[in-house]
Amino acid sequence: MANNKTMYQEKFCTPEEAAKHVKTGDFIDYGFFNGKPVAFDRALAARKAELKDVVIQSCVTLLPVPEVVLKDPLGEAFTYHDVHFSPLTRIMQSKGAQNIYYAPPVLGESEMYSCPHDSASGKLGVQLRDVMALRTAPMDSEGFFNFGLSNSCTYEQAINAKVLIIEENGNMPNALGGAKEKIHISQVDYIIREDTPLGESPLKEPSDIDREIAKHVLEHIEDGCCVQLGIGGMPNALGKLISQTDLKDLGGHTEMLSDAYVDMFESGRMTGMKKTFDKGKIVYTFALGSSRLYDFVNNNDALASYNVSYSNHPINLAKIDKLISINQALKVDIYSQISAENSDFRQISGNGGMLDFVQGAYWSKGGKSLICLPSSYEDKNGELVSNILPIMPLGTTVTVPRQTVHMIVTEFGCANMKGASTWSRAERLIEIAHPAFREDLIRFAQTNRIWRRSSKIA
């Protein structure tokens, strides 16, 4: 059998040679997040005139802009699916790209989507992959390519693709496992090289409202809790706030590893020594943030990169004592339905693994799920608009159904929805709504017979 060095030489090729293996009608996986290939994408886009009906799926589009969108905005050859819309995806769509669509997952089950058949469960993959192209760290001395900042469902996508193309990149950090964080050269068909800088997600500066919400959330965190944070300004505010407290032995188990975890770890607040399993390790399935975070990931023994079926499975989450799940939403209606992904037919973000953690944290011994949002925002005309609505606008999808919601937090407080009736949910939400909109919400609730005025709201 050829040794690793010989196999590498045999499989190394140009991006153009690798792209020749795509055929009309193929379904292609690009690596998620910073796993998106750059040189391969450029070479594939150059074949636009030769191809038709090629579907490309990725997750959270980062710079550089995919050439398959730039060169084919009308979708004459390529259709681009994003499993979680990023600001860049929204910009591409707003600039007229007609070949971009959202592909909503339950992220924790997404490994099953690319499997041809799971004999244990009997589930059939929704789409067999013809080609997978992904960016990894360079091959190590044992012949492995590390997935770096994006583990997620990458291994299952890779081994189930008919053709696997690795684009190794010297800027990709080496993420220690965990599980399914790397693949061997013997499982790879072609290798190309491209050292484009990794895409960063700009740190959103927390607003005063973000800081107020973070203070309310902090009241639910005690020594030994295990913390999951979603994306956005408020989680970053919370991470900084936690790093300034005297909290002890916090743990980390999350879908997305963000810069907030660097703050909590380096301040000594997050040791993981009270975790029920993965003791001393911060578990995550992808990392997205600044170059500081990427440096933190590289060969860090305090971290464990896991596949998403492990990191997000609600049964695994329920086994973690005192799991505190903190995520952000866009809107909530008077029935306590949560939308965290779109509004008025416009895709803004994605549902990702929010539902996984909402359910898992509630079943955790001592755990809680907190969904946070500002009570209101200013529109482009400077008018104040409520994020707590009578009903969801037409074209707005529900990310978390009302019966699954645990706690909702705004800058005005925290409201527990579990076990509450419709009128009680309405009342609790009105209490944490912006004062300018409370009377309107009361009138709607009264008109629709979901209101029973109590002594709490005069």
* Catalytic residue annotation: 255
Question: Residue 93 is inside which H or E element, if any?
Answer: helix 87-94
Alpha-carbon span 72 to 4, nearest angstrom = 38
Strands 282-284 vs 163-168: parallel, antiparallel or unpaired: unpaired
The count of other CB atoms within 10 Å of the CB of residue 217 is 24
DSSP labels, 199-253: P--PPPPPPHHHHHHHHHHHTT--TT-EEEE-SSHHHHHHHHHHHTS---SBEEB
**Which of these, 342, 371, 368, 330, lies nearest to 354 by C-alpha position?**
371
Q: Coil, helix or strand for 173?
A: coil
For 446, residues 6+ apart whose C-beta sits below 8 A from its C-beta are none
Alpha-carbon span 75 to 419, nearest angstrom = 48
- CA distances to 204, 238, 251, 436 from 384, in Å: 21, 25, 38, 9
Residues 263, 282: contact at Cβ < 8 Å? no
**Which of these, 327, 324, 333, lies nearest to 234 by C-alpha position?**
327
Residue 227, CB half-sphere, CA atoms under 13 Å: how many? 31
Strands 342-343 vs 346-347: parallel, antiparallel or unpaired: antiparallel
Alpha-carbon span 290 to 34, nearest angstrom = 12
Give burial (CB, 10 Å; 0-12/13-18/19+) of 380: exposed
